[in-house]
């Protein structure tokens, strides 16, 4: 039986182990969150709610950093629509629907680009957009 040769570590595996060691050795943060001025946030929330807006954390960064902002309500939110031009902001459909399917949408209730929506134009689903 021939003698077995010593195995050399695979370079890719060695690089992966080194990267993991570096990652575990140094602190890692997902976001560089801004400092929040609580007095300014309270004033902005009061102003938003007085105007009928939606005060919330929009998008992944805002959720991770606990940052709130205001999304104004639209005047035609919930109104039936077939085209974007029918609405102040967007004509959307909330149910999972295939591209090109014929639908009646509804005007978005708030003017916020965040979340997942099905866009309606020409009475059909023209796309699905998810924004974080």
- The pLDDT tens digits for 30-60 are 568 888 899 999 999 999 999 999 999 988 8
**Paired strand residues for 118:** 93, 128
Please indicate, yes or no, whether residues 77 and 67 belong to a single structural domain of this protein. no
- The answer to whether residue 21 is domain-embedded is no
pLDDT at 3: 57
Q: What share of the chain is helix, strand, coil (3-state, %, to 5)?
A: 30, 25, 45
- The answer to whether residue 9 is domain-embedded is no
Q: What's the domain count of the chain?
A: 2
- C-alpha 78/C-alpha 94 separation (Å) is 11
Please indicate, yes or no, whether residues 88 and 62 belong to a single structural domain of this protein. no
Q: Is 42 left (phi over 0), alpha (psi -120 to 50) or beta?
A: alpha
Q: For 92-100, what is the mean pLDDT?
A: 91
59: containing domain:
32-72
- At 36, which helix (H) or strand (E)? none
How far are the Cα atoms of 50, 51, 71, 132 from residue 45, in angstroms, in the given order?
8, 10, 11, 21
Q: Cα-flanking dihedrals φ and ψ of residue 47, to 5°?
A: -65, -45
The pLDDT of residue 9 is above 50: no
């Amino acid at each position: 039986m021939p003698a077995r040769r010593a195995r050399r570590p695979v370079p890719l595996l060695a690089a992966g182990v080194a990267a993991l060691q570096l990652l575990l050795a140094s602190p890692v943060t997902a976001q560089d969150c801004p400092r929040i001025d609580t007095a300014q946030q309270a004033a902005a929330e009061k102003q938003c709610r007085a105007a009928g807006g939606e005060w919330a954390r929009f998008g992944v960064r805002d959720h991770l950093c606990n940052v709130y902002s205001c999304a104004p309500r639209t005047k035609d939110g919930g109104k039936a629509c077939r085209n974007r031009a029918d609405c102040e902001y967007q004509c959307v459909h909330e149910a999972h629907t295939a591209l090109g399917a014929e639908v009646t949408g509804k005007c978005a209730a708030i003017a916020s680009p965040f979340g997942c929506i099905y866009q309606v134009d020409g009475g059909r689903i023209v796309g699905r957009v998810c924004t974080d």
